[in-house]
Amino acid sequence: MGRGGGSHGGGGHSGGRSFGGRGGGFGGSPGRGRGPGFGGPPPGGPGWGGPRRRWGGPVFSGGGFGWPGPGRRGGFGCSAAIIVIIFILAFVPLFLNNGSVQESSEITVSFTERTAVTGTDTYSEWYLDELNFIDHDTDLTDGLKYFYSQTGIQPYVMLLDYNDSIWLDGKWSEDAAEKYLAQVYENTFSDNGHMIFAYFACENDSEDMDGMFYIYYGSAAYSIMDAEAETIFWSYFDMNYNNLDLSIAEFIGQTFEETADNIMHVGSSKNNTLIKAAVVFAVICAVVLIAGIVIARRASRKDAEDFNSHM
């Protein structure tokens, strides 16, 4: 993944990436394997994890569970506390996941502070669709415009028909693709605040999209689209690409929108929710612990009274 110089016309790029097809098109069988070239983070990224602990359950001495022998009132205070704690440990992670507190396990949350690019001249067009894949353009352009409003980088999407000067003897040529997009950038934009997101269709391609994806940047975009931001972008892209409930316009537009929210907000609000949930969890544990101690002391006093009454 190389980066070019800083003169007008861009020079930075990210690609090319193939994602193995969208599973036979919309309505086809969901074959969701990643194609070669994907460099995103491996599954099992940030999130709740670590070693799992197996609870063996409370241990009771002096008889079976509920045996009401002298010197023990079933040990119910401590056992109740343990049971409640087990319940909380089982419940809170489910609450966090169902509440979407954490990002998808494959999506990095950005903690890098970025300042939006300024001075970008708005180009009148937002995409070029030589493949007729875009049915409802607002599904795409809403996400592109949102990305622009947050980052100051105006994206331009190009869905390009098969070109044998890019696919040399049927093989993808990154050099040819980069030269092609460099020329497009030079001829289309007047500043360095744009990025081209291109899809190069392979021969006999379809809405499966088995070709190659490629990003070409203007030099001003480097302050935003650093290595972390690129990883976040391609991770969202991979996730949305494999969601066959989304149209092509929707999954591309959604990828840009989600990326902007992530990379332009240091520690997303989801992390703040995570912190709040952790505090609530700690308070509940403390309450349960105190309640267990109180119950245990009361049981001990009662046991002592019972013992003295038999003396």
Chunked into runs of 10 residues, the chain (311 residues) has average pLDDT values of: 38 58 41 32 32 31 37 45 57 47 68 94 97 95 98 97 94 95 96 96 91 95 92 95 95 97 75 60 80 77 65 61
Q: How much is the pLDDT for 2?
A: 35
Return the pLDDT at 56.
33
What per-residue confidence (pLDDT) applies to 18? 58
What is the pLDDT at residue 171?
93
pTM for the full model?
A: 0.60
Token output for 157: 């999407």
Task: Look at residue 238 in the predicted model and tell me its pLDDT.
Answer: 94
Q: What is the pLDDT of residue 58?
A: 35
In this prediction, residue 280 carries a pLDDT of 72
Q: What is the pLDDT of residues 139-175, one digit of tens each?
A: 999 999 999 999 999 999 999 999 999 999 989 999 9
Q: What is the pLDDT of residue 67?
A: 36
Report pLDDT for 213: 96
Whole-angstrom distance, CA of residue 253 vs CA of residue 245: 14
* CA dihedral over 103, 107, 112, 113, signed as positive or negative: negative
pLDDT at 21: 60
